[in-house]
Structure 1
Amino acid sequence: MSAVHDTNKACCSIPPVQSDYKSKGSYQKVGQFDKAYVVGDSKTHALICIYDIFGFFPQTEQGSDIVSQALSGTKVIMPDFLQGKPWPEDNFPPKTDEDKQKLQEFFGTTANVGDRLAELKSVASTLKSEGYTHISLYGFCWGGKVATVAAGEKDLFKSVAIVHPAMLDVKDVNGIEVPFGFYPSKDEPSDTIKEFQEALSKKAFADKNDYKHYENMHHGWAAARADLKDPENKKAFEDVYGRLATFFGSNNQ
């Protein structure tokens, strides 16, 4: 599996935004991960969230809180897939050729899609062994790529959604086997978005999919790069998490 990030310039140039949101959940041990953000108390329904390359951020946790509450306490779990080594926000965007190369190496090692996919499947299997019968998944940016590839695991996941995904590739649609929510921004390649959505519309479960192109939003508007002091960003942020809750509420049954 390719370790090289795509050419989405916005993904590799827009820095994270600070937030003073106070998360409602807590950090807990989940499966092989010593640290995971967890909110919600359901013993049967769970959502796994894959954050972006900046790791745990208040805005991403705020989104988890919104979805959990909207789905009556569905447990949302955000494992520390980057193992305490997210890309440092003080070195973003990378400015020197050396730092740009380090970012590509980051995608090939710490954020390697294949390795993180194996860990994701292990977490889902652990949840199943603990009695969770309805598990779904969503991811942002880099996490959206991992989630897309995981959408072929229909024995583990009821449904999958991606928000402003990185490394978007229409060939990945061939492997998608479960209802799929697709929420790109203005910064993903428009031709790829169109091809990706057209391919999704041909799936046997297309009537269960959900799609909205947030054409006025930058890459990252729903995760670490969300500027919730901006009214338009806040409106789109609330909208996409509402759509995620509705989508998972319909398909994680």
Structure 2
Amino acid sequence: MASEACCKPAPPAEYINEGKITKFAGLDAYVNAGSANATAAVIFISDFFGYDPPLLRKLADRTAAKGFFVVVPDVFHGDPFVPADPTNPMASAPAWMAKHDPTDLSDVKAIIKQLKEQGIQKIGATGFCWGGKMAITLANESEPLIQTAVLCHPSLVNHEEVRSIKVPTQFLLSEIDPQVPPEKAAEFKDILATRPEVESFLKVFPGMNHGWCIRYDVNVPEEVKSAHEAHDDMLEWYSKHLTV
């Protein structure tokens, strides 16, 4: 389950979109086509608050500026998580989760199909919190649908899924995170070390809370610096693994 930290509202942030809201594979999506002749794409799978946080779209645009075709789909079909009781935000999460299974890849498969139809040759997927579970589910597919995955402060990920990755996978973790606390992060790292045939990278960001990658406080320099470092790591990873 997503953590209490993820259920806290994101600090205020303003951003002017460079991409556009459109339909993609039948879903509402934020899309930035990147370069005119993009041959690689990145799918951003949001946390359970939905696909519209300004800092998520800012990162999508920065990724597109590197030449990637970027899609941020509304995989919740207009039904993001909204706590029924702000004083106990997780109380209504189980009912919401029952309607939104992060291992259901049907929407993402439709996105991948459309990307390939328009000439995209390589695809990466970045998942945040809830989306991290979907990203590692993609990375576990026996017949890979993507070429690489990035998990940013993921939720619900278990040891067997880490052990079963089939494509290069990057883990960008927060130190203060009940979903992947330091001891669990260390266990993940040990598991990855037993799989040298599949490239991986794991980094824990000191002092950061679950959700910080796209919910950092723009007025706190330490959070901004750490988030940008994680974004740089992700972009470097994609430049390496999505080169056509």
TM-score between the two structures when normalised by the length of structure 2: 0.89
Tell me the amino acid that sits aligned with residue 125 of structure 1: K
Q: Could you say which residue in structure 1 is the equivalent of 2:165?
A: 176
Partner-residue secondary structure (3-state), 2:162: helix
Alignment of 1:53-68 (within 5 A): 53-55=48-50, 56-68=52-64
Letter in 1 for 2:217: D
Name the amino acid aligned to 1:147: A
SS of the counterpart of 2:75? coil
- Quote the Cα distance in structure 2 between the aligned partners of 1:47 and 1:124: 10
Tell me if structure 2 keeps the 8 A contact 1:53–1:87.
Answer: yes
1:205–1:26 distance in 2 versus 1, CA, 3 Å:
farther
Alignment of 1:24-35 (within 5 A): 24-33=18-27, 35=28
Which structure has the highest strand share of the two?
2
Pairwise CA distance, 1:176: 1.0
Q: Which deviations, in whole Å up to 9, do the C-alpha atoms of 1:76-116 show, x marking residues without a partner?
A: 1111101111123xx487434xx64421111120x31133x
What is the aligned-residue RMSD (CA, Å)?
Answer: 1.9
Please tell me whether residue 241 in structure 1 is matched to residue 231 in structure 2. yes
Residue 122 of structure 1, CA deviation: 2.1
SS at match of 1:213: strand
1:147 CA displacement = 0.5
Gaps of 5+ in 2: none
Residue in 2 aligned with 1:38? 31
Q: Residue 31 of structure 1: CA displacement?
A: 0.8
1:25-174 equivalent positions in 2, closer than 5 A: 25-33=19-27, 35-39=28-32, 40-41=34-35, 42-55=37-50, 56-69=52-65, 71=66, 73-88=67-82, 91=83, 94-96=86-88, 100-109=90-99, 111-115=100-104, 117-153=105-141, 154-174=143-163
Structure 1 pair 214–49 and aligned structure 2 pair: CA distance change class (3 A): same
Is the Cα contact below 8 Å between 1:37 and 1:79 reproduced in 2? yes
Contact 1:169 1:192 in 2 (8 A): no
Assess if the C-alpha contact under 8 Å between 2:84 and 2:92 holds in 1.
no
How far apart are residue 131 of structure 1 and its match?
A: 1.5
Structure 1 residue aligned with 2:207: 216
Q: Is the 8 A contact 1:182 1:211 kept in 2?
A: yes
